[in-house]
Amino acid sequence: MKTLAVMSRKGGAGKTTVAVNLTLAARVMGVRAVLADADPMRSACEVLKGRDEAASVLFETSAAKLFTLTQACQRGGVELLIIDTPAAPEADVAEAVKVADLCLAVARPTYLDLAAAVMSVAVIQRLGREGLIALNQCPPARNGVEPPAVLKAFEALRFASLPVAPVALRSRVVYQTAFAQARSVMEMDGGGAAAREVQELFGHVWRQLNGEGRAPMRTANDDLGRTHARAGLAMVPTA
């Protein structure tokens, strides 16, 4: 079994959106995936409770119960456990990091979200785990031209040698309308752009989880990397 923790210190970055859509994308692709809602806000539960299979897809949990839940899922033949985490407290998020094979730090392409993602990756690495940053709520490209905020976010993260998923999720209304119907964007509009993004992000995450094409990571105490991170992030405008 592989375990993915979806995290961000910033509320509203899109943890629940990414966690739910990745879980449902995995299931569409035949992976036995379940979602653990470890956020006391219970947003993932709110979205998924209306589904027939909710009881077999969704677990309400807490940081303290994550280890036991992970073992139970493993025994139960789950192939992928995705954990939706709260923005805080850090100790609770750390429990999710500890049981995860990969931690996905979700960030909007803004200065503050990227700064939070950089800190998250440092925590992930301190705990000896693998991290990956996924950009979410990016403005869509227009006529094939990438908006400057997105270009700068990718540039800054790569310049800082931080591992970033090559596919960015865009800001699209379907992410919101899908949740109102307890569905994923793939279920709402399978041929749409959002569905393609989620599918690509899932593919990338799945390959990382299974050790294929893992991006090189810098170490947590890499001072040069930290300097680069600051220099790079200075290029990212707030949006």
Which positions lie near ligand ADP, rule CB under 6 A?
Answer: 8, 11-17, 43, 136-137, 169, 171-172, 175-176, 179
Q: Decide whether 1 or 112 has the Cβ nearer to ligand ADP.
A: 112
CA distance 197 to 3: 21
Cβ proximity to ligand ADP, 17 vs 208, nearer residue: 17
Choices 16-24, 50-58, 60-68, 131-139; region in contact with Mg ion by CB under 5 A: 16-24
Q: Which is it for strands 102-107 and 130-135: parallel, antiparallel or unpaired?
A: parallel
* Residue 85 interacting partner from ligand ADP, Mg ion, none (CB closer than 5 to 8 Å by kind): none
Nearer to ligand ADP, 15 or 152 (CB): 15
Binding of residue 43 to Mg ion (CB under 5 A): yes
Task: Indicate the residue whose CB is closest to Mg ion.
Answer: 16
Phi-psi region of 161 (alpha: psi -120 to 50; beta: other; left: phi over 0): left
* Residue 110 neighbours by CB under 8 Å, 6+ apart: 149, 236, 238, 239
Q: How far is the CB of 200 from ligand ADP (least distance, A)?
A: 14
- Binding positions for Mg ion, 140-169, rule CB under 5 A: none
CB of 210 to Mg ion, least distance (A): 26
Of 99, 25, 30, residue with least CA distance to 69: 99
CB-based contact 120:96 (threshold 8 Å): no
Copy the structure tokens of residue 74: 């493993």
